[in-house]
Amino acid sequence: MKKWLRTDSAAAWLFLAPSVIGFALFYLIPFAIGVFYSFIDSTVDSHFVGLDNYRELLASGSFRKAASNTFYFSAISVPLILVLSLALAMLLNKNIYLRKWLRTAYVLPLVVPVASIILIWQMLFDWNGSLNFWLSGFGLARVDWMKTDAARNVIIVVYLWKNIGYNVILFLAGLQQIPKDYYETAQIEGAGRLRQFSSITLVYLTSTMFFVVIMSILNSFKVFRETYLIAGDYPHDSIYMMQHYMNNMFVALDIQKLTAAANLMVGCILLIVLGLFAIERRYRQFME
């Protein structure tokens, strides 16, 4: 025992023990309890019902609407934030005017609490808000942003504003690791900018791109906070997300549907992440 305690692995486990215990208490054990609740009919009697809760969940129109809205939002916002953040990172990686100030500006949304500026977003997108005032000034019709399908565009803008700075930082770190000699050699050999971008930039940003995609997908599933603060408990149908459904089930104390929906959401995220791992592994093999 004394010999084991003197080893590096014992020291590593001792340092990791508080984090492992905390993660198990606040994440693993509650998740396991949630999985158990999804297979019973009540938290009181605890009768095993198999997949009945999941069948009722999939037959629910509100759940299908929430799932389709969440999928649509992620499918639109994630590619959009990837393209914009990479373009901004490549721009900030050059010697442009006010580069340091621009870097600070993109980081500010990460440190400013969303709840403290939600009032500004509400004033901006209200029927009598600033944006509609500007539109009427140009002779355009006003838009009821939060009570029509345009609400989806509002949430996408808020998502981009909140998360684009984090992605820009990651892409900047990846771009600065690429040796400039590669670009100089490519220019000497006659490679254009598009060829340099596809053969050098994207190749050396593979690991960074993979991480940014995963984080962007996870953040797209966490847009409920902004949506809830802007639109409330029951927003327009176009922005009724999975988290809205689970929050309403929690208010109604329907723990079985709540845990079943949460488990399906975790399963979908896990499948997406595993799929991305497989794609990244095959891409590395192809490049090698």
Which sequence spans correspond to the domains of the chain? 60-287
Position with higher pLDDT, 71 vs 8: 71
Position with higher pLDDT, 216 vs 116: 216
Among 48-62, 113-127, 141-155, where is mean pLDDT lowest? 113-127
Position with higher pLDDT, 138 vs 25: 25
What one-character DSSP code corresponds to residue 237? G
Which of 24-28, 99-103, 117-121, 226-230 is the most confident on average?
A: 24-28
- The yes-or-no verdict on residue 228 having pLDDT over 90 is no
C-alpha 51/C-alpha 273 separation (Å) is 25
For the segment 127-155, the average pLDDT, to the nearest whole number, is 83
When the pLDDT of each residue in the chain is averaged and rounded to a whole number, the result is: 83
Among 17-26, 118-127, 155-164, where is mean pLDDT lowest? 118-127
Of 155, 157, 164, the C-alpha closest to 230 is: 155
What are phi and psi for residue 48, nearest 5 degrees?
Answer: -70, 125
For the segment 94-116, the average pLDDT, to the nearest whole number, is 73
Helix (H, G, I), strand (E, B) or coil at 89: helix
What are phi and psi for residue 127, nearest 5 degrees?
Answer: -60, -40
- The yes-or-no verdict on residue 4 having pLDDT over 70 is no
Helix (H, G, I), strand (E, B) or coil at 260: helix
Residue 80 confidence class, pLDDT cut points 50, 70, 90: very high
> Measured over all CA atoms, what is the biggest interatomic distance in the chain, rounded to whole angstroms?
81
Query: What are 48's strand-pairing partners?
Result: 40
The predicted pLDDT at position 41 comes to 81
- The yes-or-no verdict on residue 283 having pLDDT over 70 is yes
- The yes-or-no verdict on residue 185 having pLDDT over 70 is yes
Please state, in angstroms and as integers, the Cα–Cα distance from residue 136 to each residue in 43, 147, 149, following that order. Answer: 55, 18, 20
Per residue in 233-268, pLDDT (tens digit) is 778 888 888 888 888 888 888 888 889 998 998 888
Assessment of whether the complete model's pTM goes beyond 0.95: no
Position with higher pLDDT, 45 vs 239: 239
Q: What is 60-287's CATH number?
A: 1.10.3720.10
Of 171, 179, 213, the C-alpha closest to 196 is: 179
Which residues 6+ apart lie within 8 Å of 272 measured at CB?
217
Place of tokens 């900030």: 92
Alpha helix stretches (DSSP H) within the chain:
2-5, 8-23, 29-37, 52-59, 61-92, 99-111, 114-125, 130-137, 151-176, 180-188, 193-196, 202-204, 206-220, 224-231, 242-251, 255-287
What one-character DSSP code corresponds to residue 141? P
- The yes-or-no verdict on residue 102 having pLDDT over 90 is no
Using left for φ > 0, alpha for ψ between -120 and 50, and beta otherwise, residue 124 falls in alpha
